[in-house]
Every structure is written in structure tokens, then in C-alpha cells.
Amino acid sequence: MDISVYFEEAAQVSVAFVIGAVIGLEREFRTKPAGFRTMILICVGSCLYTILSKEAAIGSTDRIASNIVTGIGFIGAGVIFKEGITVNGLTTAALIWITAALGMAIGYHNYPVAIVVAAMVVIALFVLEPVQRFINRIHRVKDYKIRISDAGRTFQSDLETFFSSHDLTFRCMKATKDNNDAIYLYRISSPDRNYDLVNQFLLNHKEVKSFDV
């Protein structure tokens, strides 16, 4: 094999290293589960598997690609976890998925697409973050999961009276019982987005054991 081929492949994994590092820096900065080194390894590994699949030329190369996607799915699932009524890690899982795709694109010599998509990812991570914060500020609907003691016979009427007196739109999504506790899931909409009043009411109510937003 011509030695220039080795230099070309070394350049491919080097580009994958750089792209993985750029994406990983943002995750590391935010102290996310999959950080700097993880993203580098995912991008470089996907690129290397793609290169080897082309060199092996056994059957169709898309079999290797499909297996990469499957393996990356398991890694992505490992960083998703549920905390209260919120799910965390979805962005990191999506980044793991697209970082692997970028490595595969580089392995197939599709540098223009890899560079354009990498730029889009960087824009989504850094430039669009203020936009997301703005959307979160104007978002009027919040879900509350409230746990109260079983003795709290008047809590629901107290809560709904509080909502009505403060012009809050509400809907009881679910009510369940867990041992000696009652659990309510409420969807609340505040016109002025002042949810501190709700939080303060729940903190001060003697029957409330805990709540998640």
C-alpha cells in the first residue's frame, strides 16, 4: 500500500480528534457526564471503524456503520437519567450520537458535510443557549409533583383555592397514593410567570412533604 494512504488516514483521525475535542470542551465546561475525552474517543473511534470497514471490504460497509449506530445508542442511553419529574442528559446523548456521525463522515472523506454539521453543533451549543434561556423565561407552563402526608385532607382544596385567588390556570394531571403519602401532579400556567408564589405556598404548607418542578 502506498505510504501516502497512511498519512491520509492519519489526517482523517486527526480531524476527528479536533472535532471531538471542540464538542467535548463544551460538555466539560458544563460538567456533563460525557466530557472532553469521551467525545474525542467517540469521534475518533467512529472514524477508525469506518476506515477499517472500507479497507476490509468484506460485504457491505453499511453493516459496520449500522453497528456503530447501535453501539453509540447504548452509550447515549447511559447518560440519560430521570430526576423527579424531569429527564436529564438528553442533550448529551444527542451529542454522543451526532459526534459518532461526524466521525463516520470524516472516515468516508466527506469533509464538507462534517465541517458544516460541526459548525451547526457549535452554534447550537454556544450561540443558541441565550435563546433557550429566553424561551425558558417566557415559558408559562410548569409541572409540579407534590407529595403530601396521607393526613392532608384539605391540601387539594387549599391549593386550588390559592391558584384561583392568584389567577393561575391549573389542571390536576394525576393523583396517586404511595404508602401513606398522596402524590399530585399539577400543570400550572402563570400569566406573569411568577412561580415563586407557588413555591412559597408549598414550602409553607404544613401538609407538603416535598415537591418537584
Whether 209 and 183 have beta carbons less than 8 Å apart is answered as: no
Q: What's the pLDDT tens digit per position in 136-193? A: 666 667 888 888 886 567 788 888 888 888 888 888 888 888 888 888 888 888 776 7
Give residue 190's identity as a one-letter amino acid code: S
Break the chain into its structural domains and give their ranges.
3-135, 140-212
- What is the C-alpha to C-alpha distance for residues 182 and 162, in angstroms, rounded to an integer? 19
| CA nearest to 167, candidates 212, 143, 197 | 197
pTM of the model: 0.67
CATH of domain 140-212: 3.30.70.260
Q: What's the pLDDT tens digit per position in 29-64? A: 877 777 889 999 999 999 998 888 887 765 566 677
Lowest-confidence segment of 3-7, 131-135, 146-150 by average pLDDT? 131-135
* E-only strand ranges, 28-151: 81-83, 86-88, 141-149
Whether 39 and 45 have beta carbons less than 8 Å apart is answered as: no
CA dihedral 49, 21, 71, 61 (to 10 degrees): -30
**Who's near 55: CB < 8 A, 6+ residues apart?**
none
Reading phi first (left if > 0) and then psi (alpha if -120 to 50, else beta), residue 59 is in left
Residue 166: CB atoms within 10 Å: 14
